[in-house]
């Protein structure tokens, strides 16, 4: 399939150094607020890249749930491939593709598990069905069929139809501590602007 003719023009004014805040977290917060205001679909969706033991990178999309000066937080099953890879190599890259705003943000850093108490605090805010789904799913494991997973979900739904859904000890969050944050803005004539903040030790 030939895709060479597919292109569009970037019509934004570009990005200048004087447009940026000194603090990259503040700059990210500003851009996030702007894309939230645009009504972009899944503005908190980010591609995260991890690396296997043999050096093979893998990517998947997850949702950013919280960020502040201490890092960027997402949640997952601790038995997942991403968690296994982070267990032996904590290096991680996050990428936010805000196409409708002609913007991208790339974050490089290291991921560390957050406390069970912090994970529980978020878990109890999730819709009940999402709590049950986290309990039912053995992420990244091979299933005989989707029916097996659905039956597991329905069984747990019946079991915990009253009272609290127990917090699974195999589920929780990671905090990504950034050492590099890069902001990209599309510009006319493919003259794009890219500014990178790097943590100085």
Q: Give the three-class secondary structure for 5.
A: coil
Distance between CA atoms of residues 33 and 96, nearest Å: 13
Instruction: Give just the sign of the alpha carbon dihedral 104, 67, 64, 93.
Output: positive
DSSP 53: T
Residue 190 is a catalytic residue: yes
Catalytic residue (choose from 81, 126, 190, 196): 190
Q: Give the three-class secondary structure for 160.
A: coil
In the structure encoding, which two tokens stand for residue 187, read together? 């510009």
Distance between CA atoms of residues 49 and 31, nearest Å: 22
Of 94, 101, 82, 74, nearest to 24 by C-alpha is 94
Active-site positions read 190
């Amino acid at each position: 399939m030939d895709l060479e003719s597919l292109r569009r023009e970037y019509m934004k004014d570009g990005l200048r150094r004087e447009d940026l805040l000194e603090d990259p977290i503040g700059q990210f917060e500003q851009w996030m607020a702007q894309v939230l205001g645009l009504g972009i679909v899944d503005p908190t969706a980010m591609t995260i890249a991890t690396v296997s033991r043999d050096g093979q990178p893998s990517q998947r999309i997850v949702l950013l749930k919280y960020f502040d000066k201490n890092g960027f937080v997402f949640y997952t099953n601790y038995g997942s491939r991403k968690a296994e890879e982070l267990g032996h190599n904590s290096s991680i890259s996050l990428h936010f593709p805000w196409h409708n705003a002609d913007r991208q943000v790339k974050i490089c850093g290291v991921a560390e598990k957050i406390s069970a108490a912090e994970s529980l605090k978020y878990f109890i805010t999730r819709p009940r069905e999402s709590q049950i789904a986290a309990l039912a799913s053995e992420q990244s494991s091979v299933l005989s069929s989707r029916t097996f997973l659905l039956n597991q979900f329905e069984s747990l739904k019946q079991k915990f139809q009253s009272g609290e859904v127990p917090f699974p000890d195999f589920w929780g969050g990671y905090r990504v501590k950034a050492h590099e944050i890069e902001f990209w803005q599309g510009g006319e004539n493919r003259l794009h602007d890219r500014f990178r903040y790097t943590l100085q030790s």
